[in-house]
Structure 1
Amino acid sequence: MHPRPSPIAASLYTLRDLNADVIIMHGPHGCCFRTGRLLETDGVRVVTTAMTENDFILGASEKLEQTLKEVNEVFKPKLIGIVGTCASMIIGEDLKEPIEKLNLDSIILPVASHGGFGEGDNTEGAIAVLKSAVEYDVIPQEEANRQIKMLKLATEIEKTRGMAKGNYIKPNFGDNKEKVAKIIVKYLAENKKVCFILNAKKETSYLFADIINFNYEDINPNNKPMILANLDENIGLPRIRNHAINVKNDLKENNVNIDYITGGLDEYPIAPKIAEKFLEANDFDLVVVFGVPHALHIENFSCKSIAITDGPRLVQPLKDLGYDYVIAELDAHSKTLGTEKIVDSDFGMMIRSVINWENE
């Protein structure tokens, strides 16, 4: 019942992950405006054919053709994505026709997604991009199959454990950050076993990794927390692999070492299964899961637990799953687009502040 990301936005982000130089939105100038502007900060040029009422009736193939010409002249791109919108797809615009007509040197991926594409799930837009990327030899079929599997699993998790379960969920900003940060510091100071599990989605890892970006020796040099993370740099599209490399390098510079790799940054739907096996084999007093915490079955464990999410509408579902405390980080995407370094998170800064207070 409440607003959810659309397939169009997912198409845009997936083209970004394929390192598209330019994305053409074939629709009205305001369609997915915020997403387009955010992607500009990530180095992708996003333009529009700016369809109007007359185009809804008579078609806008000439506008798309002209936009393609201008994009080619101005940006000299290697990879262009053309993303459909509700307006252009409802009237049956052919995205391939101008590509074949112009025969430009650029690789051009037509993506006929729209707001209600497929079942309406946002991941349908990402899947449409992957299929087009295979058709135009940008990625191999095997990688597309793996990506599509992850996306479908992500949809299942949202529909069964997240904010897409069907009922309206009131936004909730979670528990008091200072109170929860003090709990983490207290457990470490008292020699209790603590496990941090980073299960982040792509570029949001730059924000969520900040939560473990502190020196445990400042709390208790004899009680190192265990750190698990989905930071395998050998899995995923090139941009996503680079995110994993950058995050690990930043953490190493601050003497924060990952103890166990659970998967890649696009494997957040399945990486928690590896983390769960680790938790089953080791008794922890406190488990802290951040990024996509609802993918982990915390209800199967009896320890104290903390979840950190980027969705205010995920706070209550996470409480319902069994997390004792839930923290909401805001604007994860807008804070991490365009960066190659770990950025400050509200909760990470609070943990470091509590450590400093305790040491004064």
Structure 2
Amino acid sequence: MHPRPSPIAASLYTLRDLNADVIIMHGPHGCCFRTGRLLESDGVRVLTTAMAENDFIFGASEKLEETLRKADKMFNPKLVGIVGTCASMIIGEDLKEAVENVETDAIVLPVESHGGFGEGDNTEGAIAVLEVAVKHGVIPKEEADRQIKMLKLATKIEKTRGMAKGDYIKPNFGDNKEEVAKVLIQNIEEGKKVAFVLNAKKETSYLFADVLNVDFKNINKSNKPIFIANLDENIGLPRIRDHAKNIAKELRQNGISIDYTTGGLDEYPITPRKAEEILKEENFDLILVSGVPHALKIEELNPKTKTIAVTDGPRLVEPLRQLGYNYVVAELDAHSKTLGTSEIVDSDFGMMIRTVIDWNNDK
């Protein structure tokens, strides 16, 4: 019942991950306004055909053709995505015909998605892009099939363990970050076994990796936390692999080593399986999971282990508590903070951990 991400937005993000130079939204100028503006920070030029009332009746194929010509002239793109919206798809606009009528050297991907596309799940919009990308030779079918498998698993996780599991979930901003930071630091000080699990999604990993980037070495030099992360640099679309490379490199430069790599950033629905195996092998006193913590089956781990979830969704706080997490920390605006960056971004919780460490050192 509560609003959820749109297939249109998912189409836009997936075109971004394919390194599209320009995306044209065929619809009203206000459609997916915020997402389009955010993607500009990632170097993608996002345009609109600005359909109006008359266009809803008579069609706007000429507007689409003209916008594509202008985009070609202004930006000289190599890869262009045209994304349908509710307005253009409901009236049956033919995106492919418009593309055929415009001469351009660019590869143009017409994506017929809209707000209620398929079952209405946001992942449907991403799948539509991948299927069109295969037809135009942008990615191999094997990679698209792998991506689609991950997207369907992600939808299943949201519907069974995440914010789509209930009719309505009231937003909740989680536990007090200072108190949770003190619990984490106290466990390290006392020599308890602590594990950090990064199970992050795409560019939001720049924010969620920040808790791994804290200098824990001087808290208890004989008690190094274990770091587990889905930072495989050889898996995923080009932009996603770059994110993993950037984060892993920055961590290494700061003297932080990943003890176990569970997979790629777009494999967050399945990477928890390997993390769970590692966590079950050793008797940890505290486990912190950041990014997409509801994908990890925390309920199957030692019930005596204290657990912390770090998420970006106020509507995920209550489901995470229901799964059994002892503490839940909510980070806000993960996408807007990480778009356009190639470096780890300070998170609210990471900064609070550093503050508490400084307080303890000053005593």
TM-score computed with the length of structure 2 as normaliser: 0.99
Tell me the equivalent position of 1:35: 35
SS class of match (1:195): strand
1 CA distance for matches of 2:151 and 2:361?
A: 45
Match of 1:351 in 2: 353
Residues 216 and 223 of structure 1 are in contact (CA less than 8 Å); yes or no, is this contact kept in structure 2?
no
Residues 311 and 329, structure 1, Cα contact 8 Å, conserved in 2: yes
State the Cα deviation string for residues 90-129 of structure 1 (Å, max 9, x = none).
0000000121122311000000000000000000000000
Which of 306, 309, 325 aligns to 1:307? It is: 309
Find the counterpart in structure 1 of residue 134 from structure 2: 134
Q: Deviations over 1:26-79 (max 9, x none)?
A: 000000000000000010000000000100000000000000000000000000
**Quick one: percent identity of the two aligned structures?**
73
Q: Distance in 1 between matches of 2:347 and 2:99?
A: 43
Match of 2:61 in 1: 61
Q: Report SS of the residue matched to 1:120.
A: coil
Listed as ranges, the matches of 1:1-360 within 5 Å are: 1-301=1-301, 302=303, 303-360=305-362
SS class of match (1:266) = helix
Cα deviation digits, residues 240-266 of structure 1 (max 9, x gap): 000000001111111111100000000
Matched residue type, 1:331: D
- 2:267 alignment partner, SS class: coil
Counterpart CA distance in 1 for 2:116 and 2:298 is 33
Number of aligned residue pairs: give it: 360
CA contact (8 A) 1:130 1:144 kept: yes
Q: Partners of 2:209 and 2:257 in 1: how far apart?
A: 11
Distance 2:283 2:338 in 1: 34
Residue by residue over 1:165-224, the C-alpha shift from the partner in whole angstroms, topping out at 9 and shown as x without a partner, is 132000000000000000110000000000000000000010000011122221000000
Counterpart CA distance in 2 for 1:145 and 1:270 is: 15
Structure 1: 4+ residue segments shifted above 2 A: none
> Hey, what's the Cα distance between the residues in 2 that align with 1:180 and 1:212?
15
Letter in 2 for 1:353: T
CA RMSD of aligned residues (A): 0.6
Q: Which shifted more, 101-110 or 225-234?
A: 101-110
Where structure 2 has 5 or more consecutive residues not aligned to the other structure, the ranges are none
SS in structure 2 of the partner of residue 339 of structure 1: coil
Distance 1:216 1:3 in 2: 39
CA distance in 2, matches of 1:322, 1:106: 50
TM-score (norm 1): 0.99
- The letter for the 2-side match of 1:135 is K
| Cα-to-partner distance string for 1:273-332 (whole Å, 9 max, x where unaligned) | 000011111110000000000000001122110000000000000000000000000000
The amino acid across from 1:204 in the alignment is T
Distance 2:116 2:137 in 1: 27
